Structure 1
């Protein structure tokens, strides 16, 4: 049977929500219709996904030049994108014919696939997981993608970027026309049924924090809150973290010796650690979605989130299916933690209400538009000749 061949560009050197989301999407696509090639800087992440073994997937790794990835200069950024483009061109000439390129973060990160289009006219599918910058180049990329799937919280930033590009180009086409076209579709994240988190315990209050160490994830706020009223003497706190590598963004320090704080760096038994906890704390600043929050809700945890206008702040109701605190306010966070932990019945009632909301976020439904799109693309646009099939295996 004929299939469409998708090449996914993954230049992010550490795991996170966008990678988990694309893995779940691939797992739900039709194996008889699709083939995927992953060109990644993080081969280990993809190899550790056992649920992808039954899919037609080839994984190719490319090297990471530390100076380019860690430098904040614009020249280093241009050099990095030129390097990525060269790697992709080389891979495209060696693997079997590719029908579509997929960018899985944002045009600002995935810009190399748009540079590829200057040489080879392969259609691009862009998935946007976070807000984009108001940039001419990003606006250009968004107008060149064949299809864009984006989180609702990113729409305003997409609009600004597209408007900025159109204004510079003096084009009459209105930004609203582009965003309302069939080429742009909203989606929300979800969790597949076969990877649904285990039910948390309701015996003893235990705190749980899970995110990367990027500073905007706000680990310092939790540490500050812990220092103020010294709640660690009373509560066990499990910290599961991902340490970003080879990037030039500010990173929080971890682990830090604090009594009753247990630190786990990218643990393989994340589900069992979450299962042994029951109060999830989010300290992220304006989280675009918050897949870890959804996973905590799916396990029946009482989630504590900032009141900041982000996705879950708009969806959840204080003291019904979550507990909210004033954003960037350590005292308010501490009060929320003490309130939640003072009564196990509160944890259980809010956690069960949160579970009912999470149950609406089945990946089989939330990713349906993307899955149907990938399953129904025909491989009539073959822009590259076939190469020796043995070259596609690494």
Structure 2
């Protein structure tokens, strides 16, 4: 019987040559040597070793223990490297070279795939914003007056972006319920998740020069799953008038994999209909390709699925977020990360955070391990996702996982 080759994937494998997400890995025999790899089935391909063996002109940008040199190289190089990888993984004549460079996923440790420069979090889901507005302003307008005129966002902490699997320590801070006379200090009692997508910037921009909508693909390398953990009680007391701070800055988890935009070409979709006219720099009505992405997320707590948020329902696109983020002249740096904000759909089972799923604790979520309003110590949250690919195959986006530990 012929020996199975790691290059022979099962039909429809979501991590085939149509995908090839990038990550950074180490092996037990060389734990200090971080290498750039791409996921192929249940394996990781050492892309620098492959580039060296093939005499690739792009070996240098793949030689570091981070994706940043590749990110900085620009779209022409991204496309060229991707084409070389697809050729190597699909050409039968190259199997003898490629097979030894594939390492089982079970035998590697995965690391933060890129050095994060700046981090910005947006608030781009109308369904999420409307639900939150109804929760906190039951007798007022669900959306603030500016919401449909610009993508609302805030600057986060790049230094607390962590890779999937990193434990999340329950944050402490000031808390004050409406009926309390004064704030108290202690661990958050309303610790929440936020199911999001992160967009990874590759090519930088010049200070003072905005990035227009049609330059999105020139600057953004790819996407990663993201969980922007949120301490709702700390945030509620601190956020007026300047917005989120300690309630958000303690941890943001990202997947170990960055899926290149090229892998999502078949997932492009039109955003929801806009019912308020947009200023010219945000008006994408004449865009060459639709700005939305049909990406289906799944949120599980302790292995039990609690939500399936659809990214296609997001009101503001990533290109609009990038355009707004730079319209004042702010520059981009290689490794900048900007996140979509909580992804929620129109149905209750599509809400992307516990604040919405439980309606601020009124309606607990039923789990096999017991009811939850917000996260308890020991809870593990896993977000997975996929997008449509060519010929009906799925594009897997991996997962982002975090387990809550007490203080």
TM bucket (normalised to shorter chain) is: under 0.3
TM-score normalised by structure 1 residue count = 0.27
TM-score normalised by structure 2 residue count = 0.26
